[in-house]
Amino acid sequence: MLPLSVRSVLHQRTLIAGAFVAVLMGTALVAVTGRCLAAALAVHPRPGVDMGGIETILALAGVVSGFVTVFCVAGTSAFSVALRRRDLALLRLIGGGGGQIRRLVIGEALVTAVAAAIPGCLLGAVGTSAALDLLSDARLTPVPLHPPVSSVPLAIALGAGVLLALLGAAAAAVRAAGIAPAEALRESQLDLKVMTVTRWAAGAFMLAAGALMITLAALNGAEAATPLTVFGAMALAVAATTLAPAYLPRLAWLAAAPAGRLTGIPWQLAAAGIATARRRTASLAAPVIASVAIIGTLTAVLAAANAASAASSEQARLNQTVLLMMTVPAFVYALISIAGAQAMAYSARREEVTAMRLLGISRRQIRRMAVWESVIAVALGALLGLAVTAASLAAYHAALQRTYETTRLAVPWAAFVILAITCLATAVGSGLLAVSRPPPSGW
Q: Per-residue pLDDT for the chain (443 aa), expressed as one digit of tens each?
A: 778 888 888 877 777 777 788 788 888 888 888 888 888 888 766 666 666 667 777 777 777 777 777 777 777 777 777 777 777 888 888 888 888 888 888 888 899 889 988 999 999 888 888 888 877 776 777 777 888 888 888 898 888 888 878 887 887 788 788 777 776 555 455 555 677 787 889 899 999 999 999 999 999 888 888 889 988 998 999 899 889 888 887 787 777 666 655 567 888 888 878 877 787 888 888 889 988 988 888 888 877 766 766 655 666 666 676 677 677 777 887 888 888 888 877 777 777 788 888 888 888 888 888 898 899 889 999 999 999 999 999 999 888 888 877 667 777 788 888 889 999 999 999 888 888 765 544 44
Distance CA 37, CA 341 (A): 34
> Quick one: pLDDT at residue 428?
93
C-beta of residue 148 within 8 angstroms of C-beta of residue 54? no
> Quick one: pLDDT at residue 438?
58
- Angle (nearest 5°) at CA 352 between 351 and 353: 90
Distance CA 295, CA 387 (A): 13
| Helices assigned H by DSSP within 186-277 | 197-219, 222-242, 244-256, 260-263, 265-276
Q: The pTM is what?
A: 0.79
**Burial group, residue 144, by CB count within 10 angstroms (0-12, 13-18, 19+):** exposed
Distance CA 340, CA 426 (A): 10
**Burial group, residue 28, by CB count within 10 angstroms (0-12, 13-18, 19+):** buried
